[in-house]
Structures are given as C-alpha cells and as structure tokens.
Amino acid sequence: MEQMLVELHHAGHKTGLFAVDLIQRPSKVQVEPSGEELFLEWNSTVDDSGRLRGCIICSGEVFRERTFRQVTGVVVVLAFAGAVAGILGLVTTWVMLIAMTFVLLLDIAILLLGRPRLVCYTCGTRYKKLSIAPYHQRWDSDRNEQLQRTADNPLDS
Ligand SMILES: [Zn+2]
C-alpha cells in the first residue's frame, strides 16, 4: 500500500516532509531533510475505515484543498479574455487559437495531476497520496480569516 505523504509547512514555506503508513501508524517519524524526530497523534485522527480524519501533527481539523477549483477559475477567465480579444480583433486568429490550445492543455494537465489533498489550516500541514473521506469539507476563506484574527490577537477573547 502506498504511504501517505506529509508536508510540514511554516509561515507559507515547506519546512519538512515524511511518508507515513496509515495502517502501521508509527508513533514517531523522522522528518526530511532535517532528520528531526516528530511524534504523531493517532488518537481520533484516523476513522474506522483507515482514512485521515484529523491532523496527526496538532490534532486539528483537516480540509480539502481548493487549488483545483481556483486554477480552473483562472483558466475560465483566461479563455473568456481570449475569446473577447478575438472578437474585438485585438489579436489575430492564430494567436488566439494557440492561446486557447495552451489554456485547454493546461486545463487537461490540471485534471490529470489534480490529486486531492487535505490541509490542516491550524498548523499548515499538507497530506498527499491518501484516500479522502467524503465528509471532509472544503475550506472556507471567511473561516480562515477568522482563525487568523484569533491567532493574531490571542488576548482578545
Ligand atoms: Zn495540524
């Protein structure tokens, strides 16, 4: 069975990586490239069917990452801009065709490469190469801002 890939992030930067088996659930892993040892939290972070339910680093909630939809949105905007430019005669037909083909190929590439991921927005850890339970919700940016506000002003509450 393929191991789950875990990427540690800090302040928007990838700080470490390790692979872990969701069935064996080792209590301790070694992080690459630092070699640092990290203790994992398996208590109530994996559901009955062996799928990740919570963050094994901080026990936080994990969410489906929305990169796929965001990139698709960009592609739609680009395609629309290309069509408008073509209609207005701002670009010649063949330039537009090349651009549209590029956009289409990009879209197909995203479809093929767009593997689902889970993200913990509490500690920034990303989980790849895993089967994702259907109950995971997509991240809501309003909530992200709320959490960040809370994190910025811990003395407010
Ligand atoms: Zn976490």
* Angle formed by the axes of helices 67-87 and 93-113, nearest 10°: 170
CA of 41 from ligand 1 middle (Å) equals 10
Decide the pairing of beta strands 37-39 and 13-20: unpaired
State the pLDDT confidence band at 157, using cuts at 50, 70 and 90: very low
CA of 126 from ligand 1 middle (Å) equals 9
Q: Using H for helix, E for strand and C for coil, what is the string for 90-129? A: CCCHHHHHHHHHHHHHHHHHHHHHCCCCEEECCCCCEEEC
Decide if 57 contacts 38 (C-beta within 8 A).
yes
CA of 70 from ligand 1 middle (Å) equals 23
User: What is d(CA 35, CA 40) in angstroms, rounded to the nearest whole number?
Assistant: 15
Token pair for residue 86? Answer: 């073509």
pLDDT digits (tens, 9 = 90+) for 127-154: 988 877 777 776 666 666 655 655 555 5
CA of 109 from ligand 1 middle (Å) equals 29
CA of 56 from ligand 1 middle (Å) equals 7
Average pLDDT over residues 25-40: 93
CA of 120 from ligand 1 middle (Å) equals 5
Average pLDDT over residues 30-34: 92
Who's near 109: CB < 8 A, 6+ residues apart? none
Token pair for residue 60? Answer: 């936080």
Among 23-27, 84-88, 147-151, top mean pLDDT goes to 23-27
Give the per-residue pLDDT at 156.
47
CA of 52 from ligand 1 middle (Å) equals 12
